[in-house]
Amino acid sequence: METEQVSSMLDLGTTKSYKIPVEHLDYSFIEKCTDVRHLEKILAVLRSGEEGIYPALTEFCEKKIESLDPRSQALRKEKPPATAASFSSDEWREIMCDLKSWSKEINQRETELKYQSVLDNSENVPPVRGSNVFVPSKQNKINKGKTSKNKVVPREYSEWDKFDVEKECAKVEGCNKEKSSPGLINHGLPKIKRKIDTTGLTDKEKNIIANREKDKGNEFFNAKDYEDAVVYYTRSISVIPSVAAYNNRAQAEIKLQHWNNAFNDCEKVLELEPNNMKALLRRATVYKHLGKVKEAADDLKKVLQAEPENVMAKKLLHETEENKDMQSKKQPKGKRILIQEVEDLDDEPETESCLLVGGESAAEKGEMGNAQRKFPGRGDGGLQTEEKTPSTAKKAQTKRGSSEKGSYQGAKEQGQVNEFQRNESYAGDQTSPSSSGTDSSRPDVPVDSGALPPDIARLKSQGNELFKSGQFSEALLKYTQAINDFTEAEIDSPGDLSILYSNRAACFLKDGNCSDCIQDSTRALELQPFSVKPLLRRAMAYESLERYRQAYVDYKTVLQIDSGVQSANDSVNRITRLLIDQDGHNWREKLPDIPAVPLSAQQNRWEGTSANYEQTQQKTKGFGGSKPVQDTGKKTEALFLSHKQEGNDFVKKGQYKDALGKYTECLKLKSSECAIYTNRALCNLKLNQYEEAKQDCDSALQLEPSNMKAFYRRAMAHKGLQNYAYCMDDLKEVLRLDPKVAEAEKELQEAAELLSKRSVAPDSQEKQRKKIQIQEVNDSDEEETENTRDRNDGKEVNRHVGTGDNQINHCGSENMFPLQPTNAYEFGQALNAVKSKEDIAACAKLLCSVEPENLPSLMSNKLEVDSFTIIIQALDNHLLQKDPILVYRHLVHLHEAERFKMVSLLLGKTEKEQVKQLFDHLSTVESVQFTSDDIQNLAKHYLF
């Protein structure tokens, strides 16, 4: 102490190295100082000993720093490795024994490995990376695609900060794709296989792999990536099922709240090890969340029997018992959690309004006549029912009224009023379209049932009230009563009954009683097919029950009816992800069929409104433009919508030029609609006007910077313009927005390929040509991509190969498609290519390459008149002579395709002639596979 004071008195200057005032090297100062940096400097001075050596002060300073910042670097000291002395003798012995036993074990394993016959598992291994094969790197080092991509430019850090992607891209002008990629989140779930192919592996190796996959699962679990963890546990189980992997997967599933999966895993563990405490605990957790309080308590008691001190079990048991009490009063809590997830989708109970939308459009359809009348829709049926209803309702009313002696006076009045309203609304719909406006306003005006007898109507409205105030079980009772009365009264009004069921389904859903919800929704749908609300409810119920496939189908159906239902859109996305997790890439194959919604139900909203507007227009015309000014806004809006609708219709029919015109008119009226731009871009693309398509996409993206369609179409446009680098940018953007877009990924690969090819081209045409030839004989994989390229970019190939080179061209056009299209996308691509060239021979080849049974699924909903025609032509002109049986089988399956009915209605005279001709030819063929009767039956499907 003394010496220190002396030194500070002698030299009140600063220290040499950090210029710290010497008086800072003091207990009291260090005590008070909270600046870690400063303390670290003091410590450095003290440690260096330049101001003298003070071990106690140094230690004091270290302690102070540690208390302020335990992770400070200054505290890191050089330490020698630990030795036996650093451990207690027991620990040391344990470590050494462990190592010894391990080395013994591993030696044994190694000798076993050596004596195992070496199995060749090369068939598991993917082929040698194809794209760069046989390119002598010495000759065209610079030209090679990936070479140009890799620019080892020493980029300074500061420069990197200022890096401007746009400028940089412009600079490299498309051929050099040195640029920063768009934002990506590496969610690899869909990409990871859930099973590991272990053929050819020895048990030892399998064991190692299973363990490793499990470890990976643990790591993901620790990083809170529960979904990944589940995948890796699943992989581990696929190699060798183990208790630990099942157990861990159960825990991960619990974290994800996939109760059923977790339950199954626990069950598996308990099958293998009936006394596995962890599994019991986890099963108890699952039970608790599923509301099975008793089972949960049983499990927990079992755990506590074996491990009386298990804190976790105690806590859970306590919670469960609390829950039990609550359950006796109310619904269990666990269930509510599940439902809360879906709650935001649809809170309001259904009022009449929903049905009215359908019914009203049906009525309009009847009026619209012409085009729509052809469809055997429920338009007419609906209308009839509506007409019938009031009278029957009245009958019922009087019946009730007389039997119950006017006690429902008020209710009756209400009913009459309702009825009046209802009639009025119908009248309004038919006569004064201006009142119907847009359909969004509709649900706000609850039009109550008029057809219902007053008591039922009252029960229903009471139910609605109760539902709104959250008393679901009371509402449930009311609805049930209403339904009972309804059936007793034998009223013939399926629509109203459907609504009652649908409302009751909503109550069940809220109460967490999913199976009853499904039952009621199904009944509602039987009575009133394709109504949105019961479908939505059933979908939600399915989803809560983790029956994702059914849920998916229902959501999809909803979207077919009205693609604007946001909750359905969201849910479909969510479920798609789940299904991919569950079933892998082929998840679609496992789906039940999605019912095709009749056109009458499908676009009812659009057509409804456009019809209204057409009427408005006519009226306006009739008045000779004497309409008040305020109507003009509405008018343009109406015009806009009708143009848009017409445009959409043209697109569907494949008349892109007409559609283009319509869309352009739309944009003249209103230039801020993103969808119009993307639609027009599509038309432009189809018409090969890439520059225009690109501009449209640009405009669309200005309006909506994250419009995936716009990105995708711009990518296609860029591809058409041969700006592959830009094309890839856009595709990457698409993948960033939704990594699951398979088309985009495919196109991306293609574009990458094209880009690498192209960068070679300008230098050495000769070489390029050679290269194509090499790759064509190389392997089928390569050929495929090569040909896809040809198809997509015939021009480019011509340039490279030379126009005179018929052979290669021919080759290209012959194999324009994958030999075995395996999915709808590939098939669609191939068919489009065939269509655009009107290459009937190629179409015939394509048809040869697919199994007729698969035709409808490959076709999916892409069947159009022109594709149908070319298929018929191909069958007739090329296949009939070669293989009439195949033709027959194709025809048998073709009419099962999704849009077949629709297409067959749209066929023109010549097309019909062709079909007839084909059947005539076919009936002349004699075969054991089919008789002429069969053909005639079949022909009925095709010719009305």
Partner 1 sequence: MSTPLEKPQIISHIQKGLNYTVFDSKWIPCSAKFVCMGNFARGTGVIQIYEVQHGEVQLIKEIEKAKPFKCGTFGATSLQQRHLATGDFGGNLNIWNLEAPEIPVYSVKAHTEIVNTIDGVGGLGIGDGAPEIVTGSRDGTVKVWDPRQRDTPVANMEPIEGEAKRDCWTVAFGNACNDQDRCICAGYDNGDIKLFDLRNMSVRWETNIKNGVCCVEFDRKDINMNKLVATSLEGKFHVFDMRTQHPTKGFASVSEKAHKSTVWQARHLPQNRDIFMTAGGAGSLHLWKYEYPAQRSKKDADEIEMGVAGSASLLQNVTLSTQPIASLDWSPDKQGLCVCSAFDQTVRVLIVTKLNRV
Give, as ranges, the residues between 79 and 98 that touch partner 1 (CB under 8 A): 79-83, 86-87, 91, 95-96
Task: Point out which span in 202-210, 357-365, 715-723, 784-792 binds partner 1 (CB under 8 A).
Answer: 202-210
Query: Three-class SS of residue 215?
Result: helix
Specify the residue, 203 or 387, whose C-beta has the smaller distance to partner 1. Answer: 203
In angstroms, what CA-CA distances link 717 with 171, 340, 661, 664, 768? Answer: 20, 44, 19, 18, 25
CB of 78 to partner 1, least distance (A): 4
In angstroms, what CA-CA distances link 843 with 265, 784, 886, 902? Answer: 49, 17, 14, 22
Q: How far apart are CA 652 and CA 658, in angstroms?
A: 11
CB of 223 to partner 1, least distance (A): 5
Specify the residue, 168 or 526, whose C-beta has the smaller distance to partner 1. Answer: 168
On whether the CB atoms of residues 281 and 316 are closer than 8 A, the answer is yes
CB of 754 to partner 1, least distance (A): 12
Please give the DSSP secondary-structure letter assigned to residue 763: T
742 binds partner 1 per the rule CB under 8 A: no
Residue list 274-293, contact with partner 1 (CB under 8 A): none
In angstroms, what CA-CA distances link 820 with 389, 815, 824, 848, 854? Answer: 55, 11, 11, 10, 11
Pick one of 6, 9, 53, 113: the residue that binds partner 1 (CB under 8 A). Answer: 113
Q: How far apart are CA 629 and CA 600, in angstroms?
A: 34
Q: Which pair of structure tokens corresponds to residue 272?
A: 């293998």
Task: Report phi then psi at 542, rounded to 5.
Answer: -60, -40
208 binds partner 1 per the rule CB under 8 A: yes
Specify the residue, 224 or 329, whose C-beta has the smaller distance to partner 1. Answer: 224
Task: Point out which span in 22-30, 196-204, 686-694, 768-776 binds partner 1 (CB under 8 A).
Answer: 196-204
CB of 277 to partner 1, least distance (A): 20
Pick one of 28, 34, 89, 137: the residue that binds partner 1 (CB under 8 A). Answer: 137
Of 349, 226, 177, 312, the closest CA to residue 759 belongs to 177
Task: Report phi then psi at 256, rounded to 5.
Answer: -85, -5
CB of 26 to partner 1, least distance (A): 24
Pick one of 184, 326, 371, 427: the residue that binds partner 1 (CB under 8 A). Answer: 184
926: exposed, middle or buried (Cβ count in 10 Å: 0-12, 13-18, 19+)? exposed
Task: Point out which span in 304-312, 539-547, 744-752, 805-813 binds partner 1 (CB under 8 A).
Answer: 744-752
Q: Which pair of structure tokens corresponds to residue 258?
A: 């996939």
CB of 125 to partner 1, least distance (A): 6
Specify the residue, 84 or 371, whose C-beta has the smaller distance to partner 1. Answer: 84
Task: Point out which span in 35-43, 123-131, 254-262, 544-552 binds partner 1 (CB under 8 A).
Answer: 123-131
How open is the CA angle 548-550-553, to the nearest 5 degrees? 105
Pick one of 38, 47, 212, 395: the residue that binds partner 1 (CB under 8 A). Answer: 212
On whether the CB atoms of residues 875 and 915 are closer than 8 A, the answer is no
Task: Point out which span in 131-139, 342-350, 395-403, 562-570 binds partner 1 (CB under 8 A).
Answer: 131-139
Q: How far apart are CA 743 and CA 155, in angstroms?
A: 35
Specify the residue, 154 or 633, whose C-beta has the smaller distance to partner 1. Answer: 154
| Single-letter code of the amino acid located at 443 | P
178 binds partner 1 per the rule CB under 8 A: yes
Residue list 709-738, contact with partner 1 (CB under 8 A): 728
One DSSP character per residue, 477-494 reads: HHHHHHHHHHHHHT---H
Of 827, 824, 815, the closest CA to residue 786 belongs to 815
Task: Point out which span in 74-82, 258-266, 484-492, 787-795 binds partner 1 (CB under 8 A).
Answer: 74-82
Distance of CA 730 to the CA centre of its chain: 19
Q: How far apart are CA 683 and CA 679, in angstroms?
A: 6
Pick one of 222, 431, 626, 630: the residue that binds partner 1 (CB under 8 A). Answer: 222
Total residues binding partner 1 (CB under 8 A): 93
Residue list 22-61, contact with partner 1 (CB under 8 A): none
Of 273, 263, 261, 214, the closest CA to residue 238 belongs to 214
On whether the CB atoms of residues 638 and 646 are closer than 8 A, the answer is no
Residue list 463-522, contact with partner 1 (CB under 8 A): none
CB of 248 to partner 1, least distance (A): 15
Task: Count Cβ atoms below 10 Å from residue 405 Cβ, excluding itself.
Answer: 8
Task: Count Cβ atoms below 10 Å from residue 745 Cβ, excluding itself.
Answer: 16
19 binds partner 1 per the rule CB under 8 A: no
Specify the residue, 619 or 736, whose C-beta has the smaller distance to partner 1. Answer: 736
On whether the CB atoms of residues 331 and 512 are closer than 8 A, the answer is yes
215 binds partner 1 per the rule CB under 8 A: yes
163 binds partner 1 per the rule CB under 8 A: yes
In angstroms, what CA-CA distances link 241 with 231, 275, 637? Answer: 14, 18, 63
Q: How far apart are CA 817 and CA 785, in angstroms?
A: 9
Pick one of 4, 23, 69, 205: the residue that binds partner 1 (CB under 8 A). Answer: 205
170 binds partner 1 per the rule CB under 8 A: no
109 binds partner 1 per the rule CB under 8 A: yes
Specify the residue, 108 or 636, whose C-beta has the smaller distance to partner 1. Answer: 108
Residue list 381-410, contact with partner 1 (CB under 8 A): none
Pick one of 165, 306, 774, 841: the residue that binds partner 1 (CB under 8 A). Answer: 165
Interface map 747-766 toward partner 1 (x if CB under 8 A): -xx--x---x----------
Pick one of 188, 376, 470, 622: the residue that binds partner 1 (CB under 8 A). Answer: 188
Task: Report phi then psi at 337, rounded to 5.
Answer: -55, -45
115 binds partner 1 per the rule CB under 8 A: no
Task: Point out which span in 101-109, 244-252, 545-553, 620-628 binds partner 1 (CB under 8 A).
Answer: 101-109
Of 822, 829, 876, the closest CA to residue 849 belongs to 822
Residue list 655-674, contact with partner 1 (CB under 8 A): none
420 binds partner 1 per the rule CB under 8 A: no
822 binds partner 1 per the rule CB under 8 A: no
Task: Count Cβ atoms below 10 Å from residue 681 Cβ, excluding itself.
Answer: 29
